[in-house]
Amino acid sequence: MKGIIHILKRFLPPYKKHLILTFLFNILTAILNVFSLATIIPILQVLFRVNTDTYSFIAWNSGNGSLIDIALNNVNWYITHLIETNGASFTLMMLAVILIAMTLLKTGTAYLGSYFVIPIRTGVVKDIRNRINDKILALPIGFFTEERKGDILSRISGDVNEVESSVMSSLDMLFKNPLLIVIYLTTMLILSWQLTLFVLVVLPGMGFIMGRVGRSLKRKSFDAQNKWGELMSQVEETLSGLRVIKAFNAEGRISERFHAGSNQFRRMSNRIARRQQLAHPMSELLGTITIAIVLWFGGSLILGGHGVIDAATFIYYLTIFYSIINPAKEFSKSAYAVQRGLASMERIDRILEAEDPIVEPQHPATLTFQREIAYSNVWFKYNNDWVIRDVTLQIEKGKTIALVGQSGSGKSTMADLLPRFYDIQQGCIYIDNTNIKDVRLHDLRALVGYVNQEAILFNDTFYNNIAFGVSNVREEQVIEAARIANAHEFIMATENGYLTNIGDRGGKLSGGQRQRISIARAILKNPQILILDEATSALDTDSERLVQEALEKLMQNRTTIVIAHRLSTIKNADEIYVMREGKIVESGQHATLYAQGGYYRKLCDTQSEFSES
């Protein structure tokens, strides 16, 4: 119950109006159902002529008995009067009309109760998905290095759908079924407290048995959703690595892996579904057993002449009691769905409640960049091992510095620390003596432009990819950026020019074309600080030449951090920093470093030998 209330408290406040209307119409439905079923008593009395008493009208304010007693007396008086004046057949017809009218009102209020639930259902699902998406955008990059993409996709799809079902069941469980049960039980107490007391002794046994059946469902559902996340991750990996899979003839192995996981998920789903389907037949059986016991007990009282209740009222009592069975069954089914929803909510909360270590300052400082960037005694680690170890360097404004070294030496990490994609554990990074942790992330990242080894493009047009993240941009600015990046000609050669869609991740373009679109995007942003992370390493010679030309135009009058394996691309840098195992082991210009005959020369010679071979 705590878990249900926690979900509802988090997501229902925006829909209070709909919730109140649902609550009111559910109450009306239950009351109208009681009164519509009450017509059974006079119908039976008329049909079987079991009521031979005489009645006289009692004024409502007379004080002769309770209001319920006066109401029952006056109804009986009116019916007997109607029989005497118009006959039993006409009276039955009038009672049937009343029954139809009451049922019409009851079904109308039941529909309105469901009608106002729909905006809650769709709104809660929208809110959860929006929160997950916003949280994904807010969380640091480091969070997603430990999470599978497919698992995250399964949480925003399958788990959210499961929570939707859970919320609906929770609404029924808290705002509909209990109301029906309470109102029906109150009616039963009014009709016969002795019989109702007996029912209340029998009913808890049914609830206990249903609880025992559903206790393990939450844990099984949690395991099943985790397995579904694994399958989604496998699909995502397959789509990303399809070229490699086909090149290595590994279709069979990938297929076997997926089939094995799919079969395991099927077995888990079967166990959950079978247990869930057990709720309906079991509750129906237990309800029928309970009704049979009540029928025996109540019938024995009537046949024994104890005068607890008359036969017609007993039939009405049984009808009301039978009406409790359906909300009770729905209550038990809701409990099953809620258990599954709570398991899914736990998985969703791993994203929603994940802590963001990148904290915005409460009182941000004003950021200006006029002089230099300074790394001061910087230490950083992802998990346990230090990736950056006590690094100190200065980058003057307008200068180009290069970070070189073997893979894993910490070059890309050094660049990622500047826009605070990760936060350092020790030391500080300053821009003009202002600690980057003291300024707004938006202001900091507005200074920085990125061109990566893998051009990250979106399934959109050339125009929107170049203008990405830049507001109030004019068409001529986009075209000018594309010209500077040597991209205008191949863009105009496409069918719709700048409005041509480039496909998923720019799949319709070559590597060099994707990189030039990425450079055009950086040119349009016009950042003061430029980070080039292996921007030409994956290109052929012709593409590299075009991209290099575009990069040289982009680097003019900017502070640039170049990360490169190909040392030929950084020979003209103002300062080269050689990194090894997270430390700067050498620094200087190309000619000086090469002449020293140290680690940098070894890297150059190794690369020359590799190129010649």
Question: pLDDT tens across 515-547, in order?
Answer: 888 888 888 888 899 888 876 665 666 666 777
CATH dotted code for 372-612 = 3.40.50.300
The encoded tokens of residue 596 equal 């020293």
Q: What's the CATH class of domain 2-352?
A: mainly alpha
Task: Name the helix (H) or strand (E) containing 102.
Answer: helix 88-115
Residues of the chain with CATH 3.40.50.300: 372-612
| Mean pLDDT value of segment 52-70 | 64
User: Which amino acid is located at 422 in the chain?
Assistant: Y
Q: What is the pLDDT of residue 306?
A: 61
Q: Give the C-alpha separation, 558 to 399, whole Å.
A: 7
User: Over the stretch 376-426, which tens digit does the pLDDT of each residue have?
Assistant: 999 998 877 899 999 999 999 989 999 998 888 888 889 889 988 888 999
Neighbours of 122 (CB within 10 A): 12
CA geometry: angle 243, 457, 431, nearest 5 deg: 125
pLDDT averaged over the chain?
80
The encoded tokens of residue 50 equal 């079991």
Please report, rounded to a whole number, the percentage of residues in the chain having pLDDT higher than 90.
13
Between 6-10, 65-69, 117-121, the lowest mean confidence (pLDDT) is in 65-69
With CA atoms as reference, report the closest residue to 350 among 152, 129, 141. Answer: 152
Q: Give the C-alpha separation, 521 to 533, whole Å.
A: 15
Q: What is the pLDDT of residue 91?
A: 76
Between 133-142, 219-228, 320-329, the lowest mean confidence (pLDDT) is in 219-228
Q: What is the pLDDT of residue 243?
A: 60
Contacts of 127 (CB under 8 A, 6+ apart): 11, 14
Cα 169 vs. chain centroid, distance in angstroms?
A: 18
Q: Per DSSP, what are the bridge partners of residue 426?
A: 379
Q: Give the C-alpha separation, 155 to 237, whole Å.
A: 17
Residues of the chain with CATH 1.20.1560.10: 2-352
